[in-house]
A and B are shown apart, each in its own frame.
Chain A
Amino acid sequence: MKKLTKSLVALMLVLAMALGCVSAAGAEPKHAKIGVAFYQDTGYAVVATKAYLESLSEALNVEFVYTVLTQTDEAANVAAIQNLISAGVDGIICTMDLGTNAIIEECEMAGVYLAGYLCDYDVSYTQNFDRVFKSEYFLGTATDGQNPDDTTIGHTMLSSLLEYNARAEKPLTHVSMAIFPAWAFPSQETGAKQFVEDVAKYNETNDPDILVDELDPALDVLMFTQMDTTYFSKHTGIDGIISFAAGTSFVYPTMVQAGVDKDIRLFTTGFEGGEENNFGTKGTQTFQQNMVSAVESITYPLVLILNKVNGVTFPDMPETAERISTSQFCINSDEDLDAFMHSIYYTGNAADAMFTPEQVLNMTAFGNPDATYAALRDLLAHMTIEDLAK
């Protein structure tokens, strides 16, 4: 049912764009140069994003310069941004919220626009809202998944777990969790609480009970370092791990090292490649859930910046910049994986992208007079695995 409605909405959108196409014909966008600052210099997301952007460059008359930010060194980030500005960019898309105060200052000085993607800008949002989000040069950000304030990942995790239990001959009854520290991903702590509550609810009405080891701050909070093997000695008897933290890099290696990857199922976020070999019913069947945000969500900051560059704006453009949740690909079955493996995220081939250059052009205010912020914003809610499956 849900699926159906979603797909309907999406269909309507596409139609709207198609119409837009016609009306927008002829509007030649200004040339723009945009800097993209990634959170890491390699990996699927980076390759795919580059491929996607490059595919747009002609239609939108925009060229891209890339750099990479660090998660820990403000000075380095500012330097990287300054170099981008030096390269003469009109706008910058960031995937990291570190040293943002200084960065936004640079942007204001140089008259360069800043926007984010795959990043909740939580520190800026909660601590420096006026400085960052109220700056006329900060245009907003598309979060990687849910915003900390409307987290649903706990629910998602349980539903994936239950879906698995439904089809598995040996359902999981005892799981432990792993999260990143709250300062980096506040939503994960919330998600964890959510999950525990949901399980409690579930246990009231269902058998067999699912036992959840409670979060041990010393052990289960991964400081962006691999989980260590004593984890399994301390969470004895678990048959599943709910890792809100990116499991492929930080949990799975340890599982392999400790030789438990055959006996323990992993529900986690992110997708870094290689999981497909042991996903669902394949290989050791370790991975039962992966979650990623579509790289196409970069369309949001891209469009906002291009509007500014072209000196136009949406009629319904909000006063202050927003951070908006994006829906995620929640891959928790062989079919999902199959669908995912045909997406640009996995193939890195622009042809597999959700939007054609024309469609993107039609999301912009200069490419399509009827385009609205609401429509753009709504897009990001329709980048689910179901949308892919179509």
Chain B
Amino acid sequence: MKIIKKTLLTLLFPALMFAVMLAITASSDKCYVDGQLIFLQADMVRQVLVNACMTVCVALAIWLQLKNGRFDFSAGANMILSAIIAGNVGLQTGSPVLALLTAVAVSVALSCFTAAMYIFGRVPIIISTIGATLLFESLTYLVFGGAGVRAFYSTPGLSVFGRLPGIFLPTCIAVAAFVIFVYFTTQGRKGKILSNNQTAGVNIGINEKRNIGASYIFTGIILGMAAVIYVSQNTVTPQAGLSTSGIMFSYIVPVFMGMFIGLASCDVVGIIIAAIGMEILNYGLNCLNLGAGGTQQIIMGVFVLGFYAFSGQLGNIQALLARMKNRRARA
């Protein structure tokens, strides 16, 4: 019974999103080509799935650090740099698998660098990750002559991880990595404790440094997956001026919403569901020719604000319920 309720609650969001977008698109003649509604075409399913996979990977990477109390600014830069290196390796060797492995290796290495800078530099996380971001971005101009990667995604043999069904492999690895770390490893558990009371955690003997190291290794793995998907779908050009944070922010909305939707189940599911929902929204907007440009941005903004506001209030509601429960218990 409870399970069913939870599942329903969880699926509510994308279902709602679908219904709304369907209604809107159906009522706009922009979305009809010779009489049939393009919103309801196979293309939609494919696009939503493909984009959702990408979003999930990045969102999980961000969330993994965020739930441990660290906002990692460098995730985007890490992904782009890994993507460029992996892409070029892939192009030279002609092997997508090798590209994937490279992506993971590089991105883990970069994550470890970020972690090391944080641990040994003892600089507040935001500042140190901004430093890392600037460094990684600058490296994108130095590797492979600053040419980025162009031909990777367009070489069918290489870009298997950017299309259905190949894209599911990296995505599943990413999700698995997240779940294993957070729910099954000792370090994941310790991370939860540290994030809730850093000092106490350290006092009762958790090695903070090792813990951060571990969490960043897993973040690296997930980002590696994101990188290989990214390079399998886009031309990747060098970035500068923290523009990678923009790339990262474009995937962050599902994180916020995931936290909220996850309340009904667990955060991973929440994020996946949120990603799917968001992509349905995006696809709908594309049908209305609002995909790129101002309107979409504004809608995004409203989403961020709305969801945060709502979950903020939700916190109070839960607290109230808890208090009432306690009182009943006391009585």
B291 and A230 form a contact (CB under 8 A)? yes
Q: A42-B238, A229-B286, A257-B233 are in contact. Are A218 and B292 (CB under 8 A)?
A: no
| A41-B238, A47-B145, A256-B159 known; A218-B153 Cβ under 8 A | no
B residues in contact with A248, CB < 8 Å: 150, 235
Q: Which of B154-208 contact A (CB under 8 A)?
A: 154-156, 159, 162-163
B292 touches A252 (CB 8 A): no
User: Which A residues touch B240, using CB under 8 A?
Assistant: 41
A236 and B150 contact, Cβ closer than 8 Å, known pairs A42-B238, A228-B291, A230-B291: no
A252 near B148: Cβ-Cβ < 8 Å: no
Closest 7 CB pairs of A and B: A274-B151, A233-B38, A218-B289, A225-B292, A274-B150, A228-B291, A228-B286
CB contacts under 8 Å to A, within B287-312, are: 287, 289, 291-293
Q: Which A residue's beta carbon lies closest to that of B289?
A: A218
Asked if A274 and B154 sit within 8 Å, CB to CB, the answer is yes
> Is A43 located at the chain interface by the 8 A CB criterion?
yes
A277:B151 contact, CB within 8 angstroms: yes
Q: Are A253 and B151 in contact (CB under 8 A)?
A: no
Question: 1/0 per residue A27-49: CB within 8 Å of B?
Answer: 00000000000000111000100
Query: Are A219 and B289 in contact, with the CB atoms below 8 A?
Result: yes
- A346: CB under 8 A from chain B? no
Q: Give CA–CA (A244, B323) in the complex, Å.
A: 65
* Nearest CB in chain A: distance from B241 CB, A: 10
- Evaluate whether A249 and B47 lie within 8 angstroms (CB atoms) in the complex, with A43-B147, A234-B33 already known: no
The answer to whether A229 and B47 touch across the interface, beta carbons within 8 angstroms, is yes
State the interface size on chain B (CB cutoff 8 A): 36
CB pair B287–A230 under 8 Å, yes or no, is yes
Q: Are B30 and A218 in contact (CB under 8 A)?
A: yes
Contacts A42-B146, A273-B150, A277-B154 given; indicate if A229 touches B43 (C-beta within 8 A).
yes
Closest to B91 in A: A274
Q: A230-B286, A230-B291, A253-B234 are in contact. List 9 more A-B contacts (CB 8 A).
A: A41-B146, A228-B291, A228-B292, A229-B43, A233-B33, A233-B41, A233-B287, A248-B235, A252-B154
Judged by a CB distance under 8 angstroms, whether A375 is at the interface is no
Distance, CA A257 to CA B238, complexed state (A): 22
Residue B50 lies at the interface, judged by CB distance under 8 Å to chain A: yes
Rounded to whole angstroms, the CA-CA distance of A47 and B286 in the bound complex is: 36
Nearest Cβ in chain B — how far from A111, in angstroms? 31
* Residues on B facing A (Cβ under 8 Å): 30, 33-34, 38, 41, 43, 46-47, 50, 141, 145-148, 150-151, 153-156, 159, 162-163, 233-235, 237-238, 240, 283, 286-287, 289, 291-293
Interface size class of chain A, counting residues whose CB lies under 8 Å from the partner chain = 20 to 34
By beta carbon, the residue of chain A nearest B149 is A274
- Looking across the interface, which residue of chain B has its beta carbon closest to that of A278? B154
A272, B150: Cβ atoms under 8 Å? yes
Do A223 and B153 form a contact, CB below 8 Å, given A42-B141, A233-B43, A257-B50?
no
- A261 contacts across to B, CB distance below 8 A: 154
Any chain B CB within 8 A of the CB of A159? no
State A218–B162 Cα separation when bound (angstroms). 28
Q: Is the CB of A230 within 8 A of B38?
A: yes
Q: Is A284 an interface residue (CB 8 A)?
A: yes
For A256, list chain B residues within 8 Å (CB): 153-154, 159
Interface residues of chain B: helix, strand, loop or mixed (majority): loop
Q: Are A253 and B235 in contact (CB under 8 A)?
A: yes
| Chain A nearest CB, measured from B251 CB (Å) | 16
How long is the Cα–Cα vector from A57 to B314 in the complex, in angstroms? 68
Known: A277-B154, A277-B155. A236 touches B33 (CB 8 A): yes
CB pair B163 A259 closer than 8 Å: yes
Q: Does A355 belong to the interface (CB within 8 Å)?
A: no
In the bound complex, residues from chain A placing their C-beta under 8 Å from that of B145 are: 42, 47
Closest to B240 in A: A41
On chain A, the residues within 8 Å of B151 by CB distance are 273-274, 277
A258 at the interface (CB under 8 A from B): yes
The smallest beta-carbon distance between B218 and chain A, in angstroms, is 29
CB distance from B240 to the nearest CB of A (A): 8
The answer to whether residues A258 and B34 also contact, given A43-B147, A277-B155, A284-B156 and a CB cut-off of 8 A, is: no
Contacts of B155 in A (CB 8 A): 274, 277, 283
Contact digits for A235-250, partner B, Cβ 8 Å, 1 yes 0 no:
0100000000000110
Q: Is there an interface contact between B33 and A249, defined as CB atoms closer than 8 Å? A: no
Q: List 24 A-B contacts (CB under 8 A).
A: A41-B146, A41-B240, A42-B141, A42-B147, A218-B30, A219-B289, A229-B43, A229-B286, A230-B287, A230-B289, A233-B41, A234-B38, A236-B33, A253-B233, A256-B159, A257-B47, A257-B163, A259-B46, A273-B151, A274-B151, A274-B155, A274-B235, A278-B154, A283-B155
Cross-interface CB contact of A223 among B283, B287, B293, cutoff 8 Å: B293
Q: How far is the CB of A274 from chain B (nearest CB, A)?
A: 3
Interface presence of A125 (CB below 8 A): no
Interface centre among A252, A256, A283, by most B CB within 10 Å?
A256
A347 to chain B, nearest CB (A): 13
CB distance from B324 to the nearest CB of A (A): 49
- In the complex the two chains form, is B148's CB within 8 Å of A42's CB? yes
Instruction: Return B61 CB to nearest CB of chain A, in Å.
Output: 22
Q: B158 to nearest A CB, angstroms?
A: 10
- Chain B residues with CB under 8 Å of A274's CB are 150-151, 154-155, 235
CB distance from A214 to the nearest CB of B (A): 14
Is A129 an interface residue, CB under 8 A from the partner?
no
List, in ascending order, chain B residues with CB within 8 A of A43's CB. Answer: 147
| Given A234-B38, A277-B151, A258 contacting B235 (CB threshold 8 A) | no
Q: Which residues of B contact A219 (CB under 8 A)?
A: 289
Inter-chain contacts of A232 with B (CB < 8 A): 43
* A283 nearest CB across to chain B (Å): 8
Smallest Cβ distance from A333 to chain B, in angstroms? 20
- Which chain A residues border B287 with CB–CB below 8 Å? 230, 233
* Nearest-neighbor residue (CB-CB) of B37 within chain A: A233
Closest to B30 in A: A218
Interface centre among A230, A233, A284 (most CB of B within 10 A): A230
CB-CB under 8 A from A284, the residues of chain B are 156
Cα(A47)–Cα(B237), bound, Å: 14
Please give me the residue from chain A that is nearest to B283 by CB atom. A230
